[in-house]
Amino acid sequence: MKRTTFLTAGTAAAGMLATPRFTLAAGPAATVKIGFLESFSGQFADQGSVHRLGADLALADHNKSGRVKFEFVYGDDTSKPAQAVTEARRLVGQENVDVLFGGTSSGIGLAMVPVALELGIFNLSLGPQDSTITGEKAGKLTYRFGPNIRMMLKPVLRRALALGKKWYFIQADYAFGKDAYAQVADALRRAGGTEVGHDIVPLGTSDFSPVLTKLRNSDADVLVLCNSGLDAANTARQWASFGLNKKQKLIGISMEDTYYKALPLDAVAGATFPVLWAPTVSASAAKVAQRLHAGIRGPIGGRHYLGYMAAWSLMERITSAGTTKADKLAAAFENYTFDGGKASRSVYRGCDHQCTQDVYAGVVVPQKKFDKTQFMFDVVSEVPASEADGSCDSPWAKAATAAMASQKITERTGYTPKTWS
């Protein structure tokens, strides 16, 4: 694509998403520093790098017009919560960033909630899916863009419970896996199903042969993957190599569409997983896809979308707030409704700080179809934003409201918020 076409496509997409509603005062442009704290190395680096590709495009779109400019200051959490905390302190104390943004791992997402309160800085959590981040462990200064596990499971379970009632679970031993297992196992019990096996494996496991041998000797109808990232891809690939795809159904709570090269698509075709986003779900989604294709080589997917839309919404809210003061930014996010590049409008809910949005389930497509569409899933089930995470009367939302009501925001030491009108 020619550069002139690239610019036109980018401008059109940015215009579709929003027209900033603010008037700048006379004087020099404000430059807002966003501390982009992400897994650029370690276990989740493959997903963190994809988030960055999308977010960098959003940054370019916002900086094409207006006198409020943005820049990313990158920090690598190395996929470890302790390092995330250290990097957050560096970004705030040494780099003097105005806000924090990013995150893939649920463990890191959970760690950042109290750190944001302690440091007195607004934090937009990008991708962690542990449900308690916008439940009992919610924070006044943290909002989350990506769907939580409870949201992601809704469309999957609507389909999965019809596939069989004898389930075998493989669970990763960290926050995300524990949350996923608890919710899926509960749904199975309530549907009258039977858990025939449950193995907990360390995060980063590459050889699943011992577990799959046990699975092969069971009478399970369905294998449920309560893991994510490359762990999930490795499990699915080895499950197929054991020939289990010929006798069982496969479902999971995460299978990134960036793993189209790591999976034998024909062997796992029909397996059901959550789908973060798809370019086919609406005209708005197609426009976002056009923008992503203009700036990214190769197939695009849900993590590209998360990086782009989360960063775009953050910069739009900062601009509209007229300040980088943490509590004012949090107020600017409260019940903000916007075109999130899906079928219905997305909402940053004030009661629990979760962005409610349409959520989908998809089945893995065969290789020939992927070669044609360049997308790994066919969407087979959809739950609209209005139903995706209950209401503010739901137990988890009430728990979030109660948690935040008891919190005190620390005034950030030595920091003067940037302001404009």
pLDDT for 53 equals 98
Same domain (yes/no): 285, 171: no
pLDDT for 2 equals 33
Same domain (yes/no): 60, 142: yes
- Residue 413 counted as domain residue: no
Q: What is the DSSP string of 321-389?
A: HTB--HHHHHHHHTTEEE--SSSS-EEE-TTT-BEE--EEEEEEPPHHHHHHH--SEEEEEEE-HHHHT
Same domain (yes/no): 254, 203: yes
Same domain (yes/no): 142, 154: no
- Residue 197 counted as domain residue: yes
Same domain (yes/no): 123, 162: no
How many domains, in total, are found in the chain?
2
- Residue 410 counted as domain residue: no
Same domain (yes/no): 347, 401: yes
pLDDT tens, residue by residue, 195-226? 999 999 999 999 999 999 999 999 999 999 99
Range of the domain at 258: 150-275+360-388
Residue 323 belongs to domain with CATH number: 3.40.50.2300
- Residue 326 counted as domain residue: yes
Residue 381 backbone phi and psi in degrees, to 5: -150, 145
Same domain (yes/no): 110, 128: yes
pTM of the model: 0.89
- Residue 348 counted as domain residue: yes
- Residue 294 counted as domain residue: yes
Same domain (yes/no): 257, 162: yes
**Which contiguous run of DSSP H or E holds residue 224?**
strand 222-226
- Residue 414 counted as domain residue: no
Helix (H, G, I), strand (E, B) or coil at 198: strand
CA nearest to 355, candidates 299, 316, 402, 411? 316
Helical ranges in 120-208 per DSSP H: 149-160, 175-190
Helix (H, G, I), strand (E, B) or coil at 37: strand
pLDDT tens, residue by residue, 304-328? 999 999 999 999 999 999 999 999 9
Same domain (yes/no): 230, 155: yes
Same domain (yes/no): 370, 401: no
Same domain (yes/no): 189, 239: yes
Same domain (yes/no): 38, 58: yes
Low-confidence ranges of the chain (pLDDT < 70): 1-29, 66
pLDDT for 27 equals 44
